[in-house]
Amino acid sequence: MKREKSFYPTAETMSKEWVLIDATDKVLGRLASQVAFILRGKHKVTFTPSMDMGDHVVIVNAEKIKVTGKKLVQKNYYRHSGYPGGLKVTSLREQLNKDASKVLYDAIKGMLPHNRIGRKMLTKVRVVVGSDNPHKGQNPREISITE
């Protein structure tokens, strides 16, 4: 009886596509989790947890993202300068006004693995404020994210 070998993907067998997502009126956390799903490559049959299998994702209209409840006022972003009393706090509303792409980028970053593969996956996401897609040359396939 001959045993079948299990399939392990290599760089030659992997195919990476470009995906375009419009963030208009999408809920922040739901969109971020679905983008993380695509970045990891879990939508592919050949998914392997120890490899970067995912596609490149371009997100446009990041400033038109929605949040539910009182998150605009209650959700805060923290950073520290390293000096005593150096804690800086920014609310979600202030961060959206300052740089809306960072809000979506940070949400996606939190949903990816926190190791070197996750950092590599994060380089494949591009968040754009506005409807102009700077990556038209890659012919991204537009997909719609459902709620």
Residue 86 resides in a domain: no
Which residue stretches of 48-99 are H helix? Answer: 71-74, 92-98
Q: What local confidence, expressed as pLDDT, does residue 19 receive?
A: 95
Q: In CATH, what number is assigned to the domain containing residue 124?
A: 3.90.1180.10
Residue 116 resides in a domain: yes
Residue 78 resides in a domain: no
Residue 34 resides in a domain: yes
Q: What local confidence, expressed as pLDDT, does residue 147 receive?
A: 64
Number of Cβ within 10 Å of residue 130's Cβ equals: 13
- pLDDT mean by block of 10 residues, the chain; 147 residues: 82 88 94 95 89 92 94 95 97 94 95 95 94 87 82
Phi, psi of 8, deg, nearest 5: -125, 120
Residue 79 resides in a domain: no
Q: What local confidence, expressed as pLDDT, does residue 145 receive?
A: 80
Q: Which domain range does residue 25 map to?
A: 18-67+100-135
Residue 41 resides in a domain: yes
Total domains, the chain:
1
